[in-house]
């Protein structure tokens, strides 16, 4: 079970709303830092362990810098994410550039930053060499196909557009070795928002065994293995969070058995985003309408444009009505936004305390793939992002969009 509590009181939020109108996303700085430290500690046994924060989860320079200060690198998949690294001073092998169907200019930018380039396809070897040259370090993304089951978000590996087959991996390393590349890494990412510890242990075993096979087949020892991301968070109260200490211990046992015992000591990386910041973000919104027809509706001033996961995936996000945390949840509501789409719902048939106009709702677990997946359908403006400081004050780390921003690209 996971206790779903907010790190602020109704009175605190009401003071913040006076300065920053709803809706907005707010992130708990202290909790994010503590969680980052815990993740590092669980893998302190691993040689030069590093988590490359998946910038796509929460692409805000203030957050990326906060995690840089904790020793995290940045996992990037686009030009914008590489540019955020420039903003906060992340360079070189603290950037892992993992992209697919990559344009020339993005490879060129990653090479300029001396980032670690993680290629998604064997044909990208020639493409990279022609458009940007080859780096001294190269990584390949492995798609294990039927060796590994996927999950709902990414799907089965053999149906996914990502990565190289086993045969292609062996050939790719041989090609890069012949071209004079000096350092090598391997990566995979086969699930998203997975809560089963053993799932990740199984993935590690596949990569560790593959590393040993590459050493035999190609004659290179991998310098690092990136176990990917995908560690999930308990969106529902009845779910348990991933036990990071158990995860670290189980992967260490397999590392020692498969690699260390044979003289291999590759560095171990992850690229987690969601489990670092996800539980510590909240979409704060205000009830502005009630509606009674065939169902009971609460209309709020946020919409799917602020948080698309429930509408896109049918995902559960817990809802707290501030000031009524201890009230009996005896009313059944759909909590909805104003988009011209019937899937614009944050909660469906949800048991909640009685909600009245101007009540403030906190929608949990929006610290990853929340604001970052926002959009402007119906001309909705993207909201502000705030950082909740340890003293209870809020710092704006992204201002809300204006109509001037929205229409700026039309004024040419």
Adjacent-strand bridge partners of 237: none
Q: Is 112 annotated as a binding residue?
A: no
Residue 172 CB-half CA count within 13 A:
24
Residue found under tokens 């060499």:
129
Compute the distance between CA of residue 274 and CA of residue 232 in angstroms, rounded to an integer.
7
The two tokens of residue 105 are 């200019």
Residue 302 CA to its chain's centroid (Å): 22
| Alpha-carbon distances of 112 from 74, 86, 134, 397, rounded to whole Å | 16, 11, 11, 28
Q: Is 202 annotated as a binding residue?
A: no
Compute the distance between CA of residue 370 and CA of residue 141 in angstroms, rounded to an integer.
26
Compute the distance between CA of residue 35 and CA of residue 54 in angstroms, rounded to an integer.
15
Query: Do 184 and 137 touch, CB atoms closer than 8 A?
Result: yes
Query: Do 183 and 136 touch, CB atoms closer than 8 A?
Result: yes
DSSP, residue by residue, 288-329? EEEEESSSEEEEES--TTT--HHHHH-----EEETT-TTS--
Q: Is 382 annotated as a binding residue?
A: no
Adjacent-strand bridge partners of 394: 388
Compute the distance between CA of residue 298 and CA of residue 244 in angstroms, rounded to an integer.
38
Q: Where are the alpha helices (DSSP H) in 146-281?
A: 166-178, 197-218, 244-258, 274-277
Q: Is 246 annotated as a binding residue?
A: no
Residues 6+ apart with CB under 8 A from 382: 305, 306, 371, 374, 375, 376, 400, 401
Residues 6+ apart with CB under 8 A from 6: 282, 320, 322, 325, 362, 364
Per the annotation, the verdict on 139 as an active-site residue is no
Q: Is 273 annotated as a binding residue?
A: yes
User: Which candidate in 76, 85, 340, 343 is catalytic?
Assistant: 340
Q: Is 185 annotated as a binding residue?
A: no
Q: Is 173 annotated as a binding residue?
A: no
Q: Is 313 annotated as a binding residue?
A: yes
Binding-site residues for substrate = 274, 309, 313, 341
Binding-site residues for pyridoxal 5'-phosphate = 230, 271-274
The residues annotated as belonging to the active site are 340
Binding-site residues = 230, 271-274, 309, 313, 341
């Amino acid at each position: 079970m996971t206790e779903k509590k907010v790190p602020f009181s109704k009175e605190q939020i009401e003071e913040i709303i006076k300065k920053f109108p709803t809706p907005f996303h707010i992130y708990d700085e202290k909790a994010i830092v503590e969680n980052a430290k815990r993740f590092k500690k669980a893998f302190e046994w691993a040689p030069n362990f590093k988590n490359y924060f998946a910038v796509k989860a929460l692409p805000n320079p203030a957050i990326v810098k906060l995690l840089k200060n904790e020793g995290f690198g940045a996992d990037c998949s686009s030009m914008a994410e590489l540019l955020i690294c420039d903003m906060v001073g992340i360079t070189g092998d603290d950037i892992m550039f993992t992209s697919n169907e990559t344009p020339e200019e993005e490879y060129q930018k990653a090479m300029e930053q001396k980032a670690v380039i993680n290629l998604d396809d064997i044909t990208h070897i020639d493409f990279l060499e022609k458009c940007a040259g080859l780096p001294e370090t190269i990584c390949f993304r492995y798609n294990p196909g039927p060796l590994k089951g996927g999950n709902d978000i990414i799907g089965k590996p053999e149906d996914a557009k990502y990565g190289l087959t086993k045969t292609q991996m062996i050939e790719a390393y041989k090609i890069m070795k012949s071209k004079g590349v000096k350092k090598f890494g391997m990566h995979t990412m086969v699930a998203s928002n997975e809560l089963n510890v053993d799932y990740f242990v199984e993935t590690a075993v596949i990569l560790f065994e593959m590393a040993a096979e590459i050493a035999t087949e190609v004659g290179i020892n991998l310098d690092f293995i990136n176990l990917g991301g995908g560690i999930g968070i308990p969106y529902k109260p009845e779910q348990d969070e991933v036990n990071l200490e158990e995860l670290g211990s189980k992967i260490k046992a397999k590392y020692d058995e498969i690699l260390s015992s044979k003289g291999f000591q590759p560095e171990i990386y992850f690229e987690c985003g969601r489990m670092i910041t996800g539980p510590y973000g909240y979409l704060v919104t205000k009830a502005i309408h009630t509606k009674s027809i065939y169902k009971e509706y609460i209309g709020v001033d946020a919409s799917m444009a602020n948080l698309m996961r429930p509408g896109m995936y049918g995902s559960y996000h817990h809802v707290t009505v501030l000031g009524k945390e201890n009230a009996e949840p005896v009313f059944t509501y759909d909590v909805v936004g104003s988009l011209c789409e019937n899937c614009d719902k944050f909660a469906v048939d949800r048991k909640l305390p009685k909600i009245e106009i101007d009540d403030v709702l906190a929608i949990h677990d929006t610290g990853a793939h929340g604001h970052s997946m926002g959009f402007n359908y119906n001309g909705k403006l993207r909201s502000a992002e705030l950082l909740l400081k340890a003293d209870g004050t809020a710092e704006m780390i992204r201002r809300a969009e204006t109509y001037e921003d929205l229409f700026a690209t039309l004024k040419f």
